[in-house]
Structure 1
Amino acid sequence: MRNNRRSRFHGGLRPNDPTKFGCNACHRHAYSHFNAEKDYFLTSQSVRSGSPFRLSSFRLYYLGQSISFLGDGIVPMTFAFAALAVSDSGWGMPIVLLSLWGTRMLLIAPGGNVSDKYNRVTVMIAADLVRLLAQIIPVFAFITNTATLWHLGISAALYGVGTAFYIPASIGLLPRIVPKESLQKANSWIELTLNTGLLAGPALATVLVSLGGIQTALLFDIATFLISIACLSVLFRLPKGQLLTNGLEESDDGRTAESVNDEKENEIPPGFLNGLRLLPRYPGVLWLMLLSCPVQFSIASISVLGPIIARDSLGGIAFWAGLATALAAGGLAGSFLAGWVKVKKPVLLVLVVLTICQPIQLVLFGLGLNIIVLAVSFAATAILVTIAGILFDTYVQITVPDSALSRVGSIEQTLMSVMIPIGFAVSLPMAQWLGSSQYLYSLAAIIAICGLIAAIFLFPRQSRIDESQTRMTQRTGSNK
């Protein structure tokens, strides 16, 4: 149930073609708020480059997220055990998932708006408190032997409320605690820790439930929330002397009053619709976000059909366990390698990976090749997709205006909240109608076609933006 996964769409630094919304008074109000929060988190010149772990702010954030990701890993398995314990009808997990995704989908847009308007650490702490409360409900019910399906449903709904505010806030926070030179490595480490937690979580959940019951596993998750809240609270209270002061004069990160004023003009006023209006200004973000929709749909379909295809056509469920292990190993490897990969055109790389690699994996799986070929294919795809995602995170962090960052993340989360449940729901009926292999081939064709459409609309405009940025950089250099 628990899902703190970072979005693929973040933001931070301002582009050279600022988007202007609203009146100057709105700009002044928004700028004063966001600059104050940014002053609090950014780092000094002495640690601008190199490992993000040199920054006390990132170390605190990473510690809290690492513990939280371990909780992410144990909760799905724990709630599966809990659903089976309170209901034999088979409706336990569907009710839990519908409660979680329903509230999350309804509130993710307001969550992005609130996160762009208020201090993001404060929003994250409040969201964690809501999710902690959500876990206390089933703990109390299982300890008193009164647990019912309604306890799990209410817990999941509350958890979805907290998640709807936590994720957009976390999307916007990282560029405020890590300088742009270290963002890619920071993203890599966070993704590596996330994948490790998701890999180790099911085994840990099984051990905790076996030793002390479902309530023990849930209490462990509550403990991870308390640690996460403590780290965020300390992060909020870090002495300003340890962090960068961005005044209107030249700051330690080299920004001048002119560059700060450019950021002021680039502030986006509150409102989810204003975040939507911003996206056409950034075609790389927009089109790759749209392309991710069929990709997410296909991933949801594989998660449903994979065990069935393995059981019926590939020699048994153990076949799927091997492929799942290859996916996990590829994700871990990709998370590590992404911190060292340097790409001049990340948008092009992400487009190629999504348009080619994901369809190839679907086709090979549909062909039912031997386990070695499929395992290599799954691992390679996981490596490339993970690297592409982290590179794209970093690209957006230096492209999208900070004042709309959380709303852009909430847009992506809204799309994911729609596509994944639809993929879960329609994959089995469609596979029964078309045949499993034909359904996978169809998904591959849809992704490839969407990728080609994205390339046609994306690259002419992206090339103009790149040329404009190059000219601006050259003019800035000549002025110096």
Structure 2
Amino acid sequence: MTFAFAALAVSDSGWGMPIVLLSLWGTRMLLIAPGGNVSDKYNRVTVMIAADLVRLLAQIIPVFAFITNTATLWHLGISAALYGVGTAFYIPASIGLLPRIVPKESLQKANSWIELTLNTGLLAGPALATVLVSLGGIQTALLFDIATFLISIACLSVLFRLPKGQLLTNGLEESDDGRTAESVNDEKENEIPPGFLNGLRLLPRYPGVLWLMLLSCPVQFSIASISVLGPIIARDSLGGIAFWAGLATALAAGGLAGSFLAGWVKVKKPVLLVLVVLTICQPIQLVLFGLGLNIIVLAVSFAATAILVTIAGILFDTYVQITVPDSALSRVGSIEQTLMSVMIPIGFAVSLPMAQWLGSSQYLYSLAAIIAICGLIAAIFLFPRQSRIDESQTRMTQRTGSNK
């Protein structure tokens, strides 16, 4: 939000926002894969501190420019690009680090609280940025951002100073280089050498991760499309922009509720639950919105979908952290982030022209059909293999118990 205010302050023509967004998303999309590779190869806390230092520098550049009254669009473009670079390395490292600092049985709740914090920030951030800009100008809001990164670096420094023995292995013996014995064995047996492409080759061995990741692509595309078309449909067909404001509030409230509830949800087959939620709930929301029903029905639909999709996302993140070997976890996380980084901008770009060509309702129905078909395909290819994997894991657990 601070970047948005800054872009408007230096560019009356309106070109500031697309340049800033392209700089931010472009560098993030290009470097998220190397970010995952680096995070699996080196100490993840070190990578996160370095990434925060880069993002801190990204905030300092425009602060200096605004204080000296020399701010231009190029300052913001460079700042956004640097911010995207830092984020591209920070996210994969954080995905891989969490299982090393949180016990396995608490991973889902930890993911829940992280998502709750992010959703709270998304809600409170715009209001806080507005207050700071109103009171002290753009530079005040940017200085506040700098303070948050300093706090983040200080917190990460505490983890950096922890002895290696205090990093969790979730009951697994560590090797000399800090990796768990399981991840070392997996790397030897499954030939998972360093490199992003080798992380890609690993995915078919984990069908639940692969197919749910692929199914999330049309879901993310549809979410981006709704964010573009929602205000337009509300203005033209549903009685005004206030209608969309109500639905956006329902989405935000559902996301917060889902983030909290996910920490308490217990399921034996998370892959099945995530598949059902993505295949059914998102298409229902799209169809109901295309039908243009009254605001109460749509608000309930949007809130319920946000709750279930948020819970499904947290269950999926936890499943990935438990299933994928530690030595490749950041790379797999970067693959997921790459897909999101691609699908969201594409959804932003094509939704309006496609809706104008097909009609808004028909476009939404088409997206619903695509998601449902992709979900059925995923189920056909996923569950025969997943059942064999579950049976194998059950036999292994039974053998382990009998040996004890």
TM-score with structure 1 setting the length: 0.80
Asked if the contact 2:183–2:326 (Cα under 8 Å) also holds between the matched residues in 1, the reply is no
Matches within 5 A, 1:17-36: none
Asked if the contact 2:225–2:348 (Cα under 8 Å) also holds between the matched residues in 1, the reply is yes
Asked if the contact 1:82–1:214 (Cα under 8 Å) also holds between the matched residues in 2, the reply is yes
Whole-Å separation in 1 of the counterparts to 2:403 and 2:178? 15
Ranges in structure 1 where 5+ consecutive residues have no aligned partner: 1-76
Q: 1:408 to 1:260 in 2, by over 3 A?
A: closer
Asked if the contact 1:295–1:354 (Cα under 8 Å) also holds between the matched residues in 2, the reply is yes
SS of 2:353's partner is helix
Whole-Å separation in 1 of the counterparts to 2:181 and 2:69? 63
Whole-Å separation in 1 of the counterparts to 2:71 and 2:198? 44
Whole-Å separation in 1 of the counterparts to 2:214 and 2:380? 14
Q: 1:346 to 1:87 in 2, by over 3 A?
A: same
More moved, 204-213 vs 80-89:
80-89
Asked if the contact 1:305–1:428 (Cα under 8 Å) also holds between the matched residues in 2, the reply is yes
* C-alpha deviation, 1:475, in angstroms: 1.4
1:405 is matched with which residue: 315, 329, 352? Answer: 329
* C-alpha deviation, 1:476, in angstroms: 1.4
Asked if the contact 2:119–2:252 (Cα under 8 Å) also holds between the matched residues in 1, the reply is yes
Whole-Å separation in 2 of the counterparts to 1:88 and 1:137? 21
Q: 1:451 to 1:239 in 2, by over 3 A?
A: same
Deviations 1:380-414 (A, max 9, x none): 00110111111111111110011000100111111
User: What is the root-mean-square deviation of aligned Cα atoms in Å?
Assistant: 2.6
Q: 1:253 to 1:271 in 2, by over 3 A?
A: closer
Deviations 1:418-447 (A, max 9, x none): 111110000111111111111111111110
Highest relative contact order (Cα 8 Å, sep 6+), 1 or 2?
A: 1
Asked if the contact 1:267–1:402 (Cα under 8 Å) also holds between the matched residues in 2, the reply is no
Whole-Å separation in 2 of the counterparts to 1:214 and 1:207? 10
SS of 1:222's partner is helix
Deviations 1:187-212 (A, max 9, x none): 11111111111111110010000000
2:68 matched to which residue of 1? 144
SS of 1:249's partner is coil
Whole-Å separation in 2 of the counterparts to 1:95 and 1:255? 41
Whole-Å separation in 2 of the counterparts to 1:168 and 1:359? 29
Asked if the contact 2:102–2:168 (Cα under 8 Å) also holds between the matched residues in 1, the reply is no
* C-alpha deviation, 1:263, in angstroms: 7.4
More helix as a share of residues: 2
* C-alpha deviation, 1:248, in angstroms: 8.8
Q: 1:370 to 1:235 in 2, by over 3 A?
A: same
Q: 1:144 to 1:368 in 2, by over 3 A?
A: same
Q: 1:418 to 1:337 in 2, by over 3 A?
A: same
SS of 1:398's partner is helix
Deviations 1:352-378 (A, max 9, x none): 000000000011111111110000000
* C-alpha deviation, 1:297, in angstroms: 0.5
Q: 1:342 to 1:80 in 2, by over 3 A?
A: same
Q: 1:260 to 1:289 in 2, by over 3 A?
A: closer
* C-alpha deviation, 1:184, in angstroms: 0.9
Q: 1:263 to 1:269 in 2, by over 3 A?
A: closer
Q: 1:165 to 1:149 in 2, by over 3 A?
A: same
* C-alpha deviation, 1:416, in angstroms: 1.0
* C-alpha deviation, 1:238, in angstroms: 2.6
SS of 2:252's partner is helix
**Pair 1:377 & 2:262 matched:** no
Q: 1:245 to 1:429 in 2, by over 3 A?
A: closer
Q: 1:94 to 1:243 in 2, by over 3 A?
A: closer
Matched pairs, number: 404
* C-alpha deviation, 1:268, in angstroms: 2.7
Asked if the contact 1:267–1:401 (Cα under 8 Å) also holds between the matched residues in 2, the reply is no
Q: 1:143 to 1:460 in 2, by over 3 A?
A: same
Whole-Å separation in 2 of the counterparts to 1:183 and 1:192? 14
Asked if the contact 1:338–1:391 (Cα under 8 Å) also holds between the matched residues in 2, the reply is yes
**Pair 1:170 & 2:94 matched:** yes
More moved, 378-387 vs 232-241:
232-241
Q: 1:151 to 1:454 in 2, by over 3 A?
A: same
* C-alpha deviation, 1:142, in angstroms: 0.9
* C-alpha deviation, 1:335, in angstroms: 0.8
TM-score with structure 2 setting the length: 0.95
* C-alpha deviation, 1:183, in angstroms: 0.6
Q: 1:145 to 1:242 in 2, by over 3 A?
A: same
* C-alpha deviation, 1:310, in angstroms: 0.9
Q: 1:244 to 1:276 in 2, by over 3 A?
A: closer
Whole-Å separation in 2 of the counterparts to 1:424 and 1:196? 24
Deviations 1:111-153 (A, max 9, x none): 1100000000000000100011011111111111111111111
Asked if the contact 1:267–1:404 (Cα under 8 Å) also holds between the matched residues in 2, the reply is no
Whole-Å separation in 2 of the counterparts to 1:243 and 1:437? 52
Q: 1:250 to 1:128 in 2, by over 3 A?
A: closer
Q: 1:301 to 1:260 in 2, by over 3 A?
A: closer
Q: 1:229 to 1:267 in 2, by over 3 A?
A: farther
1:66 matched to which residue of 2? none
2:31 matched to which residue of 1? 107
